[in-house]
Chains A and B, each alone.
Chain A
C-alpha cells in the first residue's frame, strides 16, 4: 500500500537505504562468520589463510576440546552466577532505593540523594576500594564482583525519576484500599515500572557478564574467575609462547580453531537468550502501558 504512495525519489531513497544498511550488516557480520568458519576448520587451512566464510575440512574437534575443558565450564558457571545473582540483587536494591527516594514523605531524602550523587562525581580510587574489599574478606569470592557496585547511582536516578512520574494519587488510593508500603511497591509501582526495570536489568546483566578488571583485581583462584578472563587468557596464550618456551607443546598451545570455538561458545548463550529477554521486555512495556 505504501509503495503506491511513494514517489520515484522516495523509492530511490529507500533502495539506497536498504543497500547501505545491508552493507553495514555485512561488514558487522563477516568477522563473526569468519570466526565461526575458523572454529569448524582444520588448523593447516586456517594457518594458510584459506578459510574465509565457509569452513574447510569441517570438523568439531575444537568444540570438543572447549566443551570438555574444565576451566571453560567453571568460568562459564561463574559468569552465570555473577550475572543472574548480581542482576537480581542489583535491580531489587536499585528499585528499593529509587522508590524510597522518590517519595516526598521520606525525610532527609535530599541529603541521601546528595550522598549518592557524590559517589558519581568522586571515586575513592583503586587502592582504597581494594583495601575495603580485602578487609571485608571478599577477596577470592564471587561476591567481590557483585557487592561493591550493587547500586549504581546512575541507574538509581533513572528509576527514581520514573517513580516521580507516577502520580501520588495512585498511591493514596491504594492506601485507602488498605495496601501497605510493600504491597504498593510490589503490586502497583513495580508493574508500572516494567519498562525502566527492563532497561536497567539489561544494563546490569551486560555489565556483570563482562566483569573483567575487577575479577583480575580481587580474585586469584583460577576456579573463581569469570568467562571474560578465561577468554582473554585463551586469546593471549598464543603470544605468550614467545616468552615462555615451556608452554610450547604441539598438543596444548591453543590453536586458531580452539580460540574461535571458545569465542563462539562464550557468546552463543547471550545471543540465544537475548531474543527471549527482548520479548519479555516488550511485554513488560505493554503491560505497563495498559495499567497506566
Chain B
C-alpha cells in the first residue's frame, strides 16, 4: 500500500514537471522558424511559402545590431519593410542580429563559423574580422558569382574600392559606400573669441595668439580642452597644422607613417609650448570624452577637436546652461608649411560576406543584385513611397508615418552617398556635418587596402607606443629629445615592416 502511494506521488511530481517543461518549451519556440534546422532551410516551409506558389528560398542574414525598439506586434523579422523586401526580391530573408558587445560578438561569430551553422550572408563593418575569415579560408570567393549573378553589383564600386576586399585577385566581400566620411572639426566658442577680440584664425601664429587672448581675457577659461586619456585625436586641429592627422598617408608615391615625418617633431614642440603655458587643459591627460563634453557644456572650455555628431547635444545643453553662448565649427588654421585638413574616413563601408558553409551562395548573390536596385535602396532607407515618404522636386520628403518604422537595421545593406546625405538633412544634422565635411581631407592608407595580417597584428602596438611617447613629450614628462628614443622603439617593434607591407598593398611594389 505504502509503496503504491509513493509511486503515485512520484508520478504526479514527474508529470507536473514534464507538463510545465513542455508547455514552456512550446511557447519558447513559436518563432523559431528560420533557425532550428539552419542548413536545409530551403525545405522548411515558412509562412511565406503558403502564399507563393513557388517556394521561396530562405536566406539567413546576420547583421550588426544598430536597431532600435520595434513597436508592439512587429519585430526584426516581421514588419512593413522586411515583408515588402521579401515580396520584391522573392527571397524569404530571415534577419539575425549580432550582439552589441564586440567581444561577445567576435566569439559568437567564431562559434557560428566553426560549428558550420553559418548564416548565408554576414554583413559587418569590422575589417579585422573580415581579414581573419579570409585568412582562415572561411569565405566564398565571389569573382565568378559576381560575373554570373551580380551584374548590377559590380558597377556600384570603383576598381579602387573593390581592391579593399580583394585577396590574390579574388574578391571576398561586396562592399558599399558610406556618406559620413568626415568626422572631426574644430569646435569653438564664438562668443568667447569675440569677447577676447579675436578675429579670424588662419595661421599657426594667429591660433596661438587667439589661445593666449582667451586666457588673458578670463584666466578661468581653458583655451583648448582635450581628452588625451583616449588618444591624440582631440589634438587633431593642432596636429593638422603640421602633418595629416592620420597614421599612414601616401606621399610622393610612397606610404609614410606620419609620426615619423620631420613635421611631427615641430608639432610636439608647439603642443608642448601650449601645454606648458596652460593653453591646453592641464587635466587633458586624464580626461575622457565625457569630461571633455562636460567642460564644453559647462562653459569652462573654449575650443577643442570634436566629432560633428557630438555637436548638437553639446550646443543644446550649452544653450540651456549658458544663454548667449555660441558654439561653432571653425575653419581650422593652416600650418606654416601649408599643412591643413582633418582626417577623412573611408568612403567604402561594410563587408557583405558569404561563408563557405552556406548552401545558398548563388541565391545570396541574386538577392544582393536585386537590392542594389535604387527602388529597394529607397525602401530600406525611407520606407514606402506615399506612406512613409513622398517625392518633391526629386527629393525625398519624410511623411509623419516614417517615425513609426524601425528600418535602421536595413541600412546594413546598400547605401548611396546622396541618400545618406538626404537622411542627414531630414534629421537636421546636415549643417553640422557640412561644416566638418569641408575640412576633412586625409584618408588613412590602412582603410584603402585589404586587411594585411602584419598590420592588423602590430598596428595597435605602434599606436600605443606613439601615444605614450607623444603624450609624455607634450606634457613635459619626457624632454623633446626623447623623440629619437621613440623612433628606435618604433623600429624595434617592426614598424618599418608595417610601412613596407602597406606600401606593397597600396602601391603594389
Spell out A's residues near B (CB within 8 Å): 42-45, 47-50, 69-71, 85, 126-127, 130-131, 134, 137, 139-143, 178, 180-183, 213, 216-217, 220-224, 229, 232-233, 236-237, 240-250, 252-253
Contact = CB atoms under 8 A, between A and B. Distances in A.
A236 B71 CA distance: 21
A180 B5 contact: yes
Contacts of A178: 2
Most buried by B among A71, A134, A183, A246: A246
A249 B427 contact: yes
Interface stretch (B82-90, B98-106, B157-165, B278-286): B98-106
B72 interface: yes
Interface string B56-76: 000000001111111110011
Contacts of B36: 137, 139
A139 B69 contact: no
A217 B10 CA distance: 36
Contacts, number: 145
7 contacts: A44-B317, A137-B29, A137-B32, A143-B25, A217-B107, A222-B70, A250-B428
Contact of A236 (B76, B100, B318, B427): B100
B100 A47 contact: no
B307 interface: yes
Given A47-B297, A48-B298, A126 B99 contact: no
Contact residues of B: prevailing secondary structure? helix
Given A47-B297, A246-B411, 20 more contacts: A43-B317, A44-B297, A47-B294, A47-B314, A48-B299, A48-B321, A69-B69, A70-B71, A127-B111, A130-B117, A137-B36, A140-B32, A180-B3, A182-B6, A216-B99, A240-B66, A240-B100, A244-B64, A250-B313, A252-B68
B392 interface: no
B273 interface: no
Contacts of B13: 182
Contact of B28 (A141, A213, A232): A141
Contacts of A182: 6, 9-10, 13
A182 B14 CA distance: 12
A134 B117 contact: yes
B52 interface: no
Given A180-B3, A246-B423, A222 B67 contact: yes
A44 B316 contact: yes
A242 B180 CA distance: 10
Interface string B96-124: 11011100110110010011010000000
By Cβ-Cβ distance, the 4 closest A-B pairs, closest first, are A141-B28, A49-B294, A180-B6, A44-B320
B35 A44 contact: no
A47 B318 CA distance: 9
B159 to A, nearest CB: 27
A107 to B, nearest CB: 20
A236 B309 contact: no
Contacts of A223: 31, 75
Nearest to B117: A134
B257 interface: no
Nearest to A46: B317
A71 B6 contact: no
B219 interface: no
A27 B142 CA distance: 57
Interface in B24-52: 24-25, 28-29, 31-32, 35-36, 38
Contacts of B105: 216
Contact of A241 (B295, B309, B427): B309
A49 B317 CA distance: 11
Contacts of B298: 48-50
A140 B317 contact: no
Given A180-B2, A247-B66, A126 B111 contact: yes
Contacts of A70: 69-72
B69 A232 contact: no
A115 B105 CA distance: 33
Contacts of A245: 179-180, 309, 420, 424, 429
Contacts of B293: 47
A43 B115 CA distance: 46
B312 interface: yes
B125 interface: yes
A140 B117 CA distance: 14
